[in-house]
Amino acid sequence: MMMRLLSTVRTVSRAAVWIGGALTLASVLLITYDVVVRRIFGISLGGADELSGYVFAIGTSWALAFTALSRANVRVDVLYKHLPVRLGAVLDWLALVCLGVFAAYLTRHAYGVAMTSWTQQAAANTPLATPLWIPQTLWLLGLAWFCIVLALMLLQASVALVTGDLETLRAVCGVVSSEEEAAEEAAVGERIVEGERA
């Protein structure tokens, strides 16, 4: 059941990454259009930089969950690969706990920021005068989703640690090995070759 739940969570997180990427691309196109129009016609749409800032913050917060699920977060593993397997597993679990604590702390403060903007009806000091609670709530929801995903990962990792299932623990929160990276790159290469043949 947990694997099915994590699979669903991964699907939702992947969709969030694609949406965030599409919004980022849209903001890049908007900024490019604004720069070109300003250069040629001397007029500005206004707000392109503000909107791109919101998109960046929201897209980043929603991408964090997929990054954690893919084990793509940066970790220094100079000593890690020389440690005994069981100690490495405990450190993997501890790293996930630390990440969860940091994410919860960040989300708590993001909630305070969004609620302050809501209660004070704060608006951006820009021509768009965007009600700040809107982008801040979307940003907060991304961080909250990150916390939910980390909690599920931590639950699975804790069960794996207690039962001694180190392979599952490593698959949930371990450092991606060079062999796994090579296999992933080989799979990408195969898909490219197959695409060129078709």
Does any domain span residue 197?
A: no
Does any domain span residue 28?
A: yes
Does any domain span residue 195?
A: no
Q: Which domain holds residue 15?
A: 2-178
Alpha helices in 42-75 (DSSP H): 48-69
Residues in the chain: 198
Residue 183 identity: A
User: Mean pLDDT over residues 167-194, rounded?
Assistant: 75
pTM > 0.75 = yes
**Strand, coil or helix: 75:** coil
Phi/psi region, residue 83 (left: phi>0; alpha: psi -120 to 50; beta: rest), is beta
Does any domain span residue 196?
A: no
Q: What is the pLDDT of residue 179?
A: 66
Q: What is the pLDDT of residue 54?
A: 93
Does any domain span residue 188?
A: no
Does any domain span residue 192?
A: no
- Tell me if 122 sits within 8 A of 132, measured CB to CB: yes
Domains held by the chain: number = 1
- Tell me if 170 sits within 8 A of 77, measured CB to CB: no
pLDDT one-digit tens code per residue, 134-155: 999 999 999 999 999 999 999 9
Mean pLDDT, the chain, as a whole number?
A: 88
pLDDT one-digit tens code per residue, 46-92: 788 888 999 999 999 999 999 999 888 777 777 777 888 888 889 99
Does any domain span residue 184?
A: no
Q: What is the pLDDT of residue 126?
A: 82
Give dist(CA 187, CA 184) in Å, integer. Answer: 5
Q: Give the model's confidence band at 177: pLDDT under 50 very low, under 70 low, under 90 confident, else very high.
A: low
Q: Return phi, psi of residue 131, to 5°.
A: -60, 120
